[in-house]
Structure 1
Amino acid sequence: MSTPVAVPNTLLLFGALLLLGLIGAALANRSGRLPGITGMIFVGFLAGPSVLGLVSPTMLGEARVFVDIALGLILFQLGLLLDVRAFFSERRTWLTALLECLLTFAGVFAALRGLKVEPLHAALAAAVAVSSSPAVLLMVARELKASGVVTELSMRLVAFNNVAAFLLYTAILPFVHLEQQAGWLTSLSGPLLQLAGSVLVGTGLAFVLVRLSRWLLPPEGGDAFVLVVAMVLISLGLAKSLPVSPLLVLLTLGLAARNIDSPEHLRSVQFGRGGELFFLILFVFAGANLHLDHLSQAILPVLAFVLARAAAKWLACFLVLRGHGLATLPSATTGLTLVPMAGMAIGLVQSTETLYPEFAAPLSAIVLGAVAVLETVGPISTEWALKRAGEVPAEAQLRH
């Protein structure tokens, strides 16, 4: 009688995957050409269902809570970086953001329609294309210790992109409901209630967070990390129990906390070593979730999506920034930091899949195929852009 082969349990695989992610990041950094994120994503991809199958779909589902926490912390931090009054007081910034979003939507929509993609699918994909990955930008900038005009401007643009993508997607959803024979009331009220509910929940929780920070933390300042993590967890749990978007709730939480009268030590909260763990989880499991079959299902629309999106973002940033007096090099590199795309894009598509699985299938193939490409080349593009802009210290340059 043969002895059954022992199957490693989920905790063992989870720990091993994180360790391999650290090794992948270290090897990427030592190459001198790749950011650590690329190594994390590549390790996750190799271990995922598309290649070695060490990480099963079941395990990916079990790890979803950690990925949600990581993405929630990143969206919250991104919201903290955007001072709304300062944003709209700088003509160069808001004009760049507006033109970049409009040109991206129009460019991707035109490219997909040119390939005979259905109008609603093309419009939804174009709305998704407006979003950018805050996780990649934050992680690369942190890893390189980048600072300067391009870094700060890119952070603001990414925050605006994700809000704009959600608004555009929400504006198109009523037409999807109507095509699927939903009534006018459902078609109009559903998306609007989700949008309004997300903003209200996020804003309300931000007021609670500010009050708690004043009560629990010393007046001279203190470490708000544990408090922020607790509020992010509460926000995620509440958002998942209500008909609202967890992504928009967390982004609103950060935006509201930054723009109401909040303490300085809350605005400048640093995630430190604890935050690095969440980044590691996010990117390793993002790699494991990449599927080559999405590329094969819609190779031409995926390529059109990727190229049109990158060209539109780069062109819009270059034209506006150069026209408003920014030097040629930072004007030419800012758009390249917006290439990565992941969290918001996946979340928007999944919301449509939940409502209408058959309708969402072609949309998912295009968007998730594009995510596979953009999460691979995006970190490289972002690192190269920040280096070329001259915003990376010499010691960080030597490590990469």
Structure 2
Amino acid sequence: MPDLLPILTSLAWPLALAIAWLAGEFGQRWTGLPRISFYGLVGFALAYSQAGVLPLPDAGPVALLADIAFGLILFELGYRINLRWLRINPWIGAAGLAEALLTFVAVYLVAIAFGTTQLVALMMAALSMGTSPATVVRIINEQRSSGQVTERVLHLTALNCVLAVFAFNAVIGFWIFHTYDDVADAIWQSLVMLAGSALVGAVFGVAVPALLRAIGHPRQDATVAFALAVVLLVAICDAGALSPYVAALAFGLTARHRRLAFSQAQRNFGALGELLTVLLFVYAASTLNWEQIAVGSALAVSVVLVRLVTKLLGVTAFAHLSGVSWRKGALTGIGLAPLSVFVILLIEHARHAGVHVVEELRAMAAVTMLLEVFGPVIIQRALVWARESATESATEAPEHPHAT
């Protein structure tokens, strides 16, 4: 009789994805909550540290698929960014910088107050600047929302991603050098990595549309071509110590401004994107350990609350200057709450690069688990309160998304 253990091991991920998908469908139907919240709960429950169904997370094919899934989402986010709008209305960018810097300072001070070391506090502050594009794009597509709050959340999420990647890599460089004398070198290396990643993504953004025009059927063949390009881009960045997230964002941004149509049917990259989204959220939650979450729970709750307040205040302060009401400014700030997947993948990349920071970031494990479940709910509610969700009854039409 064949050994059952290898067979069961090989079935672990397919079974986990099937269970997560079913949980998402039935959970959304019964509760009205976002599907991705249920994907995260299933991934966490079946993780090696909990039920032991899934293997330990490593740098294997599942991790690469998670990166590809995140890359597809970031490409779509980049494709929806309108640089002309940001040039016309620079106060939106100013709001993004303000809320990110305010979040960095506030989380750093909170972490220090809880007795964490300075390096760990800096890492937590850098990670907290970000907003998870995976959650934001997925919920916006699921709610079919459009309007001022939706567009501002998308644009500020992209800005937050770039700022968080830069800050986190600068802190990692500082961690490696272990001395204040090399802070400038750490910042310079982070800037070079950021610029190199953006350049590679921009090259793809020029080359792929040109190739599609040469083929002669850009709309018909765009989905497969863009998906394959993202796969190749992520692989190149992994091999070259670049950020696949900044590169994918730059790819989408450049492709948009090459004037190549990205049809409505291609949103979420169809069935491929849906499947990889399930895998992404299950994988992200499966990296979390309940013991780390329990140890860091008090600090985690404080960080979540402080982060929500700083993002709300930072964006609301620029609401009138950027052309919206205080209410819509506040809802935009609330919509930036999701964090989980972005943080988990950044930490996993650092770990695979040989920087073992997971043990020191127990509180961030708790933060990510809290926002894995509640982050999607928070942005869903923000879009409904803004009356921009097509899945809810609205009493007033949303404003034009690019109005100033």
Other-structure match for 1:23: 22
Asked whether 1:300 is paired with 2:329, we answer no
Q: Map Cα deviations across residues 121-180 of structure 1 (whole Å, 9 max, x no partner).
A: 212221111111111111111112112211111111101110111222344444334316
Which amino acid letter does the alignment assign opposite residue 145 of structure 1? R
How far off its partner does 1:234 sit? 0.9
Other-structure match for 1:386: 383
Q: Unaligned 5+ residue runs, structure 1?
A: none
Q: Distance in 1 between matches of 2:25 and 2:393?
A: 14
Other-structure match for 2:397: none
Other-structure match for 1:178: 177
1:11 to 1:354, Cα distance in 2 relative to 1, 3 A: closer
Other-structure match for 1:50: 49
Q: Distance in 1 between matches of 2:279 and 2:338?
A: 18
Q: Distance in 1 between matches of 2:254 and 2:372?
A: 29
How far off its partner does 1:109 sit? 1.2
Other-structure match for 2:97: 98
How far off its partner does 1:371 sit? 1.1
Which amino acid letter does the alignment assign opposite residue 49 of structure 1? Y
Query: Retained in 2: the 8 A contact 1:101–1:130?
Result: yes
Which amino acid letter does the alignment assign opposite residue 384 of structure 2? K
SS in 2 for 1:392: coil
1:67 to 1:75, Cα distance in 2 relative to 1, 3 A: same
Query: Retained in 2: the 8 A contact 1:76–1:254?
Result: yes
Q: Map Cα deviations across residues 44-73 of structure 1 (whole Å, 9 max, x no partner).
A: 222222332111216894422221111110
Query: Retained in 2: the 8 A contact 1:144–1:393?
Result: yes
Query: Retained in 2: the 8 A contact 1:207–1:257?
Result: yes
Most deviating of 234-243 and 14-23: 14-23
How far off its partner does 1:74 sit? 0.6
Most deviating of 302-311 and 71-80: 302-311
How far off its partner does 1:268 sit? 9.0
SS in 1 for 2:277: helix
Q: Distance in 1 between matches of 2:63 and 2:70?
A: 10
Which amino acid letter does the alignment assign opposite residue 326 of structure 1? V
Q: Map Cα deviations across residues 249-269 of structure 1 (whole Å, 9 max, x no partner).
A: 22222222223x332348995
Which amino acid letter does the alignment assign opposite residue 365 of structure 1? R
Other-structure match for 1:368: 365
Other-structure match for 2:83: 84
Other-structure match for 2:308: 310
Most deviating of 9-18 and 100-109: 9-18
Q: Distance in 2 between matches of 1:10 and 1:217?
A: 45
Most deviating of 86-95 and 377-386: 86-95
1:60 to 1:203, Cα distance in 2 relative to 1, 3 A: closer
How far off its partner does 1:119 sit? 2.2
Other-structure match for 1:263: 260
Q: Distance in 1 between matches of 2:321 and 2:177?
A: 42
How far off its partner does 1:368 sit? 2.6
Spell out the pairing of 1:96-245 with structure 2 (5 A cutoff).
96-179=95-178, 187=186, 190-218=189-217, 221-245=219-243
Q: Map Cα deviations across residues 172-201 of structure 1 (whole Å, 9 max, x no partner).
A: 444334316997896466434322321222
SS in 1 for 2:146: coil
How far off its partner does 1:223 sit? 4.1
Q: TM-score, normalised by structure 2?
A: 0.87
Q: Distance in 2 between matches of 1:173 and 1:395?
A: 43
Q: TM-score, normalised by structure 1?
A: 0.88
SS in 2 for 1:390: coil
2:334 aligned to which of 336, 359, 374:
336
1:395 to 1:316, Cα distance in 2 relative to 1, 3 A: closer
How far off its partner does 1:276 sit? 1.2
Which amino acid letter does the alignment assign opposite residue 383 of structure 2? L
Query: Retained in 2: the 8 A contact 1:349–1:363?
Result: no
Identity of aligned residues (%): 27
SS in 2 for 1:234: helix
SS in 1 for 2:317: helix
Which amino acid letter does the alignment assign opposite residue 40 of structure 1? Y
How far off its partner does 1:396 sit? 8.0
Q: Distance in 2 between matches of 1:316 and 1:237?
A: 36
SS in 1 for 2:318: helix
Q: Distance in 2 between matches of 1:34 and 1:64?
A: 27
1:146 to 1:189, Cα distance in 2 relative to 1, 3 A: closer
Other-structure match for 1:287: 285
Q: Distance in 2 between matches of 1:211 and 1:120?
A: 45
How far off its partner does 1:317 sit? 2.0
1:145 to 1:297, Cα distance in 2 relative to 1, 3 A: same
Query: Retained in 2: the 8 A contact 1:92–1:320?
Result: yes
1:362 to 1:88, Cα distance in 2 relative to 1, 3 A: farther
Q: Distance in 2 between matches of 1:323 and 1:235?
A: 38
Query: Retained in 1: the 8 A contact 2:284–2:341?
Result: no
1:217 to 1:229, Cα distance in 2 relative to 1, 3 A: farther
Q: Map Cα deviations across residues 316-360 of structure 1 (whole Å, 9 max, x no partner).
A: 2223225655234423322222111134323433444456645x2
CA-based RMSD of the aligned residues comes to 2.9
Query: Retained in 2: the 8 A contact 1:223–1:269?
Result: no
Which amino acid letter does the alignment assign opposite residue 275 of structure 1? G
How far off its partner does 1:362 sit? 5.0
1:296 to 1:7, Cα distance in 2 relative to 1, 3 A: same
Query: Retained in 2: the 8 A contact 1:96–1:316?
Result: yes
Which amino acid letter does the alignment assign opposite residue 373 of structure 2? T
Query: Retained in 2: the 8 A contact 1:10–1:59?
Result: no
Q: Distance in 2 between matches of 1:276 and 1:394?
A: 19
Q: Map Cα deviations across residues 18-40 of structure 1 (whole Å, 9 max, x no partner).
A: 22122111222122341111121
